[in-house]
Amino acid sequence: MWYQHLSQYLLSHGFKNDDICPCIFIKHYLKEFVIIAIYVDDLNIIGTSNAIEDVVAMLRCQFEMKDLGLTTFCLGLQIEHLSNGILLHQSSYIHKILKRFSMDQAHSIRTPMVVRSLDPSRDPFRPRSSNESALGPQYPYMAVVGALMYLANCTRPDISFAVNLLARYSHDPTRRHWIGIKQIFRYLRGTQDMGLFFTNDSMHGQLTGYSDAGFLSDPHVGRSQTGYVFLVGGTTISWRSTKQTLAATSSNHAEILALHEASRECLWLQRLIGHIESSCGFIGPSLPTVIYEDNYACINQFKKGFIKGDRIKHISPKFFFTRELNDNYINIQPITSSKNLADIFTKSLPASKHWLNIPSLGLRRLSELMS
């Protein structure tokens, strides 16, 4: 009811809204524009100075409100306004959960997860065996996973795979899984002030995507891992690491499933960005989004057509929806596995490879930016 009342008021005063982003309202007139991002009764107002002043005055006429000034803290997210850009981080939130789970004095490590063994019987994160005991209620496993998921979904894509993997065992965790949780905390202890840095010229960058799959990432149930990431101006804006719901019969099959998910996300991002740009008066050329993929067989199938060979004739045609988008909406390009930024979302990496991906994802430390 509150949303309906607020949205009707904004729409009646010239704001535009779209179903693809129902909590974003935009108004553009002459050379001025203003964007209102709504979360329940918290409003973040972005735009030109004169337009912001007019909108604040308009809202005061109808609603009792407080103007808290420049946004520096919102829903656990901290915003650092620096001379060369904005850093979005959650150092206070990390400090809070480290202290809550008695890990605030832990020694730091360089990766959120150890490199897993290729032998399923030696995998430290395998399901509980019959001779192992489950964790007791004194271990708040589900509470920890929930706290880490919020962090992995907002500002820390570097822990997404580790959190996704350990969340699968919330119903039946063992001490091995609890050690994995503590490893994530130790990693966060040493990277507490790390966040996503958006430079002043980020808005001039094009949307770019990376897609990857970890074949049989979960060998215990025969499932692979989907990973994708999208960046604008060299900084991550959307990412995902999730176990595939279908059993892929080959690495090519797994890559097709991952690219299908990435292309769906790409379409939504294109529409969202296009809606914001057109509503604010920033109309530029609409170019296909480049999505990088490291499986050449998969790329050829999407570019040259779906050929029903013996090895792929069982794959549902719906997963080749991406082919219909090729050239007009997306442009699939090859890339070596070592340079595929989505690799960090499909497997646990050694420290050297892990830290090669960190700056490429737009992750920076506040201490480095302030020095």
Whether 222 has a pLDDT exceeding 80, the answer reads yes
Give residue 367's pLDDT.
93
- CA pair distance 252, 258, nearest whole angstrom: 10
What mean pLDDT value characterizes the chain?
A: 92
184 lies in the same domain as 331? no
Whether 140 has a pLDDT exceeding 70, the answer reads yes
pLDDT one-digit tens code per residue, 94-114: 999 999 999 999 999 999 999
Question: What global pTM score does this model have?
Answer: 0.94
Give residue 315's pLDDT.
78
Whether 233 has a pLDDT exceeding 80, the answer reads yes
Q: Which of 288, 299, 301, 284 is nearest to 328 (CA)?
A: 288
Give residue 16's pLDDT.
92
Strand ranges of the sheet holding 77-82, from the earlier edge strand across to the other edge: 73-74, 77-82, 85-89, 194-199, 363-365
pLDDT one-digit tens code per residue, 300-312: 888 776 656 666 7
107 lies in the same domain as 251? no
252 lies in the same domain as 139? no
Give residue 202's pLDDT.
62
pLDDT one-digit tens code per residue, 35-67: 999 999 899 999 999 999 999 999 999 999 998
Give residue 351's pLDDT.
96
- CA pair distance 177, 96, nearest whole angstrom: 22
Give residue 17's pLDDT.
92
Is 76 part of any domain?
Answer: no
Give residue 310's pLDDT.
67
361 lies in the same domain as 278? yes
Name the least confident of 82-86, 110-114, 317-321. Answer: 317-321
For residues 226-255, average pLDDT: 95
Query: Contact, 192 vs 186, CB < 8 A?
Result: no
178 lies in the same domain as 208? no
178 lies in the same domain as 100? yes
User: Dmax over Cα atoms in the chain, in whole Å?
Assistant: 71
Reported confidence tier of residue 323, pLDDT bands at 50, 70, 90: confident
Give residue 204's pLDDT.
64
Whether 321 has a pLDDT exceeding 90, the answer reads no
223 lies in the same domain as 128? no
Is 78 part of any domain?
Answer: no
